[in-house]
Structure 1
Amino acid sequence: MEGVRSIARFAAADPAPANAALRSDGVVVLDGLLTSDTVDALREAVMRRHPEFADKALLTDFQNNGEGRFIAPVAISRAVYDSGVLHLPALMALAEGALGPDWVVDGFGMLMAFPGCTEQHHHRDGTELFPGTQLAKILPPFALTVLIPLVDVDSDNGATGFHLGTHRYPPPDSLPEPAMAPLPRGSLIAWNYETLHWGLPNRSDRPRPALYLTLCRPFWTDMTNFGGTARTRLMVDEDVVPLLDRRFARASGGGRWVHAGLGKVLRKVGEQPAG
């Protein structure tokens, strides 16, 4: 994608300008959140726990996301928790600025793009809260998608393209030029659920795995992708439950949880984890 626009990016210590860019553009990159060694260890732990991610034919709980792509749940294991990926201070600040102090986690999983996958259709992750009212042009976000690549991402192996500002629903005939950003390991990209985006082809000979988080305001849950389905939106290992707080305690909406009584035992936000 030669000549495309760049997406605004900020260091982990710059949450204020990052929030401003997210409000104006609908997408922002945060750099330097994790070391490359931490990401490599996290990738190995996730792939060891989920060997099915290396072979789509073995997947039983997944959503097709275009030719050669899938979305599937990832267990929140001790390795995932200890990596720090669920409680990055810069991401916490970005989420609070965009969604308010009571934001919650609605889903966690893997977005995989296999070698040879083609360009994805342009889409939004969710729909307007009040279709036909023009309120989307002024309302703050209700949900964010956060993508945390487990390998370095560039235009060859399946980066994500965006039309900046499309969370404000400009006329279809006046879309801005495409924008993208390379993502080294340790960075993340976050976007408004209503921002128009698409996956680029993976022209490399290696898969492009990336973890995703869906963060949202407490009144909202993702019915577009999970409503009326039996797909798992959150999978938590037993020994990790005492470490999580109530940002993970979604109790309604479609999809399911893999832990009985999860919402009843989680800590209040701000409490120290057990142990």
Structure 2
Amino acid sequence: MAKQKISTSQLAKLRNVEAKALFGDLKLAGYINRHEDNWVLTELGSKFGGEYVNHSKFGQFIVWPENLLIDTDATSGQLLSATQIGERLKLPAKKVNQLLSELGWIARVDKGWQVSPSGLTHGGQQQMDNHNEQQYVLWHDSIVRNKRLKQSVVEFLGQDAEAHATDKSISSFRQKFEAKHRTLDGHYVRSQGELRIDNWLYLNGVVHAYDRQLPIEQDVLSDFYLPSGKVYLQYWGDDNGATEEKERVAIRAIYQQHEFPLIEIFTDEIDQLDKVLPSKLRAYGIKAY
């Protein structure tokens, strides 16, 4: 039976260290991130066993395994700018920000870049240049080892993505459900329902990606990603490889956990896309022609 996880303060007491020092070590290792007055659990922290719990008296806080390994050897503690990340990835800062934006970790605002809730879980920290009032984001140095960012760089540079892929489950899924339906914009999709959604998006001027990996460690594909609204679109169709309700619930939970906006389309809505999609898109600031 797995041991119950304990709070950071309890862990500090167990290890006979000051709670403040332990919080500092966790932040240095990239397991937690500070935003405003709250601690945010990062994806790296989740990998090492951290998780949120909700308490009736104390609200939400993070708990850890008693035998938590805090790996500070893998980090310098340095916060990296887009320019510094680009130097390591051999990309210009502008392109780094574009890729981070495509992943949904930052968003363009009137005066620079703003970190998103998902970006916070990847070590992004909001900054402000008081001289010119420009917003920008600095990143925990673990970002340069991030699996999804590295994958995006590989795909952007046109390198052999399959040779770099480690997601066997996704490869297996793609082999089992072959994308054989060609859409108007040249995508190959797996079902008639997806084809009709893809064609609708294309004809209505909505930029979209198909079969997009969610920007998380888990190997989860979304049917469509609409970058202008930073929103994912999932088709729960029954015309090819129907998704069981239990699996739907699990997939929805992943979107909710990471605060990824999600539009859902069901089989009975496929014949009514002109009616149902415009309002769903408007909720995320996307206008269809």
Q: TM-score, normalised by structure 1?
A: 0.23
Larger Rg: 2
Which structure: greater helix fraction?
2
Higher relative contact order (CA 8 A, sep 6+): 1
Q: TM-score, normalised by structure 2?
A: 0.23
